[in-house]
Amino acid sequence: MDPGRARSAAVKVCPARLREQHFIVGGSTTETNQQSPPGRTETSMNFHFAGTARHFSRGFTAALLLGLASLAAHAQFPNKPVRLVVPFGPGSATDTFLRIVAEPLGTALGQSVVIDNKPGAMSVLAVEHVAKSPPDGYTVVAATNSIVANPAGILRSVNYDPFRDFTPITRLAGTSYVLVVAADQPWRTLDELVAHARANPGKLNYASGNLGGVLYGGMLQKSIGVNMVHVPFKSTPPALLELLAGRVHIMFTDLATASGQVKAGKVRPLLATATQRTALFPDVPTIAETGIRGFADMPAWWALYGPAGMPNDAVERLNREVTTILQRPDIRSRLLAMGIDAVPSSPQVLADFTREQSQNYVRLIKEFNIQPE
């Protein structure tokens, strides 16, 4: 095939009219080796190719602009509200804590941070929801230690992997637990409670509204050698209501939840799980002080995760803003008043911490023979 034919085929020009046409090459007109018959126009192909060039140029420019617009939108994270999924209901310590953080976070991001409460199934509903969300940074979860404890053996099965399905963003905070009873119950010390439990085996029950309630309740049974009835709840507030109503006898709950109830005179703390006495309850003995053996220190914690595959700029922006907020003296003092210690971190530190905590829970669940639910 001669060059003229090759060019005509490339632009779908009829070979029979090749002699009649000119081509635009590098902006100049190149005539074919045959003369056009008199009276024939020699500009039709010029217009065709000029039009093609214009269309190509416009298409290329449009594609380039779309690409640049996409990059600009990506670089401007966030350009719409961010949804912060909370695994517990309104009024819980987790909900209260995160609302303290969400307002200044929204200001820092220039977008609203919407609290989305999804309680139930030991935090599984919230965690699985985020694992299945688009990994664009606009849906994140403030998970607790349940994110690793559930697949480690607390639950029979979960539909997520704590390492494969999430992007670590930052640690948030930590706290410890206390054993509480309603203020109108007769037991004023742990010794009195243990004596009653041993005298009435199988008649004492304990509520749980979070992971700590499940694990520490199981540890207490094993440590004192008495069976108790476990009464699980979706979250802490309904468990606490049943405790106050007298339908459940005891529960382990986090300091943040207990502090307000203790100050109001509604519950009485008998035991603190921290290694040292807490400033909130300086008169409450620690596990070590009671002499009870077989308890493990498992502080509660919160951390921020997104779906796997989140873009780095979204991770970095959220990490930077949350860290700045948690380091503010006014925020830290509000959290400490609830018994919560802010501990922001890098994404890599959270990734390492998540794996370490998972290994700890596998060991503890086996050691204390805690049966999956």
Domain count, the chain: 3
Give the CATH number of the domain where residue 235 resides: 3.40.190.10
Asked if 162 and 190 sit in the same domain, the reply is no
For position 73, what pLDDT does the model report? 46
109 lies in some domain? yes
Asked if 108 and 210 sit in the same domain, the reply is no
Asked if 43 and 92 sit in the same domain, the reply is no
Asked if 144 and 91 sit in the same domain, the reply is yes
Asked if 305 and 161 sit in the same domain, the reply is yes
For position 244, what pLDDT does the model report? 96
What DSSP character marks residue 18?
Answer: G
Contact predicate 228/145, CB 8 Å: no
For position 2, what pLDDT does the model report? 47
Instruction: Please say which residue of 75, 107, 132 terminates a domain.
Output: 75
For position 28, what pLDDT does the model report? 38
Asked if 278 and 309 sit in the same domain, the reply is no
Asked if 148 and 193 sit in the same domain, the reply is no
373 lies in some domain? no
Asked if 139 and 121 sit in the same domain, the reply is yes
Instruction: Please say which residue of 46, 75, 104 terminates a domain.
Output: 75
372 lies in some domain? no
Cα 288 to Cα 82, 140, 273, 283, 291: the distances in Å are 43, 37, 9, 14, 6
128-145: burial string, b at 16+ Cβ within 10 Å, e else: bbbbebebbbbbbbbbbb
Strand partners, 139: 83
For position 208, what pLDDT does the model report? 92
Asked if 238 and 336 sit in the same domain, the reply is no
For position 141, what pLDDT does the model report? 99
361 lies in some domain? yes
For position 36, what pLDDT does the model report? 44
pLDDT tens digits, one per residue of 132-164:
999 999 999 999 999 999 999 888 889 999 999
Contact predicate 326/173, CB 8 Å: yes
Asked if 62 and 101 sit in the same domain, the reply is no
Q: Which residue positions in the chain have pLDDT lower than 70?
A: 1-75
321 lies in some domain? yes
| Domain ranges, residue 101 | 82-176+299-367
Asked if 114 and 149 sit in the same domain, the reply is yes
In SS3 terms, 240-260 reads as HHHHHHCCCCEEEEEHHHHHH
Instruction: Please say which residue of 260, 290, 320 terminates a domain.
Output: 290
266 lies in some domain? yes
Instruction: Using the structure block, give the residue that is written with the tokens 């939108």.
Output: 73
Give the CATH number of the domain where residue 139 resides: 3.40.190.150
**What phi and psi values does residue 330 have, to the nearest 5 degrees?**
-65, -40
Half-sphere exposure of residue 321, counting CA atoms within 13 Å on the CB side? 20
For position 184, what pLDDT does the model report? 96
Asked if 104 and 167 sit in the same domain, the reply is yes
For position 16, what pLDDT does the model report? 41
The pTM score is: 0.75
86 lies in some domain? yes
Q: How far apart are CA 161 and CA 128, in angstroms?
A: 9
230 lies in some domain? yes
